[in-house]
Amino acid sequence: MTTTERPSTSPSGTAGTANVDPATPSVDGATLSPSQVDPVALRRHLDGQWADVRESARELYSDPLFRPVTDLSQDEHRRRVTEQVRALADTGRPRVGFPEEYGGSSDVGATVNQFAVLAFGDLSLVVKSGVQFGLFAAALLHLGTERHHRAYLPAALSFELPGAFAMTETGHGSDVASVRTTATYDGDRDEFVIDTPDASARKDYIGNAALDGRAAVVFAQLVTKGRGHGVHAFVVPIRDHSGAPSEGVEIEDCGPKAGLNGVDNGRLSFHDVRVPRDALLDRYGSVDAAGTYSSPIENEMRRFFTMLGTLIQGRVSIAGAAGSATKSALAIALRYAESRRQFRAPGQDDEVVLLDYLTHQRRLLPALATTYAQHFAHAELAAALHEVFASGAGGAGVPDDESDRARREVESRAAGIKAAATWHATRTIQECREACGGAGYLAENRLPQLKADSDVFTTFEGDNTVLMQLVAKGLLTSYRDEFGDLDTLGTVRFVASQMVGSVIERTAAAQLLARLRNGRDDEASLLDREHQRALFAWREQHVLEGLARRLRRAGPSAGDGSGGDVFDGFNRAQTHLVRAAAAHVDRVVLEAFSAAVASCPDHAVRRLLDQVCDLYALSTIEADRAWFLEHGRLTPRRSKALVRVVDELCRSLRPHALTLVDGFGVPDETVRVPMLSGAAG
């Protein structure tokens, strides 16, 4: 239910209940029974704009080929996943985000949602197909031009041309601008020479490289006429039709990993490998026969960020995949908790169901609420990404200032949501494993595999800590387009030269902050959604303004002008950067959840989601209540009341736990594990 639908309360917020601490509002949950909530309506609301796409994608699991299996050797697992990718290509589903002439409909939102549903199954398939269609083929589409599309896309989309995406190097992961592989133009032969100068420039962890890949999109420093022009992408054959490495290409197998062993990760080194001039994917930079370089984007750093920005779909997709892995783990753990019994209460014949214990509710239900919140935030992000690509800012031509700004806003949000979703997945899947005891440690029950396979998502498609620093950098000023062209030193100097105002002050959040400043915290109900939003917004602004002050002090007046002292100041503020970004992402997620509650057409579903949103908001505040206490936004008494309200919300939502799990739409075929058939024993 929405905030306005809550029952009337006394000034103390207790609905007049006797013998109740007036600081503790009551939770209106007992009156809503599970039978009143339609699980189909709930799932339809979660599936949202692309509900039909998601429902259709779930049909894949009627085919046993796509169901998760255990006890496979690495070789068996790789063969099975390769077979799955071929079968997936045969369905035509991966084409949906590509132009009509290649069998698609340019529907990027549908692609992201299909990918999320695919992640209910084997995450090795998710990653390998993501490399093939979301990275290799997408790079051809967005970084290449028509001749590259005609030459490569049909074979890439049919999986006749297995491809790799060779960006990360042993010595450079997140710092893509500094990769050391070179592509030097040889005008005498009208060719580029791809070279790995030393071991640290070897392309590492490259999916599809160890066994299947026949070509790779290789990111390298473009050099012509003795001058470098920054990182560009090239199509480089890595194997011939017999499967042997191409001349000058050295391939190594990364071998067994902690998880995702169905993906053939490899290492690539290039020793004077020659490719024709048109191997350069030249949408944003080209070289003519005379070796003259030209680009529609003059500034090298802006050109670099524009090229990387066209590949943002991968980051959004990984956030969705992490969410699906989390939902799968929660589906298993909560169903187990609903049927497994342990210890008898006095006067009872039957042992107590695990989920009736408040400690067990505390382990799983706040995580369930956060998963709901992040689902709706990801849905908003997918819709925004779709709009960016539909407008042409995602890759068709050179974006103007307005579309460039829209793209960067989506990039920043994608970085934050991806980090939050993958960190949440890592924590929640571990909690689910522990909540299932010894049974949760058995491979047959999927939780260990989900944990192992999703763990790398925190560093895949961008290390989370680095991504959060990028989010904070974008928040420091409204001049985000200028920030994109600055390195660390330039960022600090730019901040120091500005009268930095919080982005929040120029948004609707200003009204929330005014509400918080003008009222007394102890007069507001903890279950008042506007008060919750105001607390989130106030924390974000306070942390962000503190960060801006720290960076101003590290500005150009510091030190001798060499930048050393400025960098030291920036380095000292890095944890503050990450905290500012985390506070921002929490608010964005709460805003998305609040909007989803308000837009729900089904009254009973809306009431249930409203309580889940309360649990997300208050458990998030509870987790950071030391900060809120330190900064005067919670009194000790209110802090204690907060804990009691979270307890009460967990008890209130406990009867709806399985309904909420069913709302995720996790295919039964992917979570039908042995321990659920004998949990009562």
Residues marked active site are found at 461
**Single-letter code of the amino acid located at 24:** T
Strands 215-224 and 182-186: parallel
Q: Which two tokens stand for residue 124?
A: 């090795």
Q: Rounded to an integer, what distance in angstroms lies between the CA atom of residue 294 and that of residue 41?
A: 54
Q: Rounded to an integer, what distance in angstroms lies between the CA atom of residue 486 and that of residue 484?
A: 6
> What kind and span of H or E run contains 33?
none
**Single-letter code of the amino acid located at 443:** A
Report the length, in residues, of the chain. Answer: 681
Q: What angle do CA 389, 391, 395 make, to 5 degrees?
A: 45
Q: Rounded to an integer, what distance in angstroms lies between the CA atom of residue 530 and that of residue 342?
A: 41
413 in Cβ contact with 591 (< 8 Å): no
CA atoms within 13 A on the CB side of 236: 36
Residue 340 is classified by DSSP as -
Residue 196 is classified by DSSP as -
667 in Cβ contact with 58 (< 8 Å): yes
Q: What angle do CA 81, 84, 90 make, to 5 degrees?
A: 150
230 in Cβ contact with 208 (< 8 Å): no
Q: Of 187, 292, 290, 195, nearest to 234 (Cα)?
A: 195
Q: Which two tokens stand for residue 408?
A: 């960067």
253 in Cβ contact with 311 (< 8 Å): no
List, as own/partner pairs, every contact residues 252-256 make where C-beta atoms lie below 8 angstroms and the sequence separation is at least 24, other chains included.
252/210, 253/210, 253/211, 254/204, 254/205, 254/210, 256/74
Residues 6+ apart with CB under 8 A from 90: none
Q: Rounded to an integer, what distance in angstroms lies between the CA atom of residue 69 and that of residue 65?
A: 9
Question: Which runs of consecutive H residues, i.e. helices, occur in 92-235?
Answer: 108-118, 123-129, 138-143, 146-158
Neighbours of 272 (CB within 10 A): 11
Q: What SS3 class is residue 223?
A: strand
Question: Which runs of consecutive H residues, i.e. helices, occur in 461-573?
Answer: 464-475, 480-483, 488-496, 509-518, 529-553, 564-572
Q: Of 628, 245, 592, 177, nearest to 420 (Cα)?
A: 592
β-partners of residue 235 are: 217
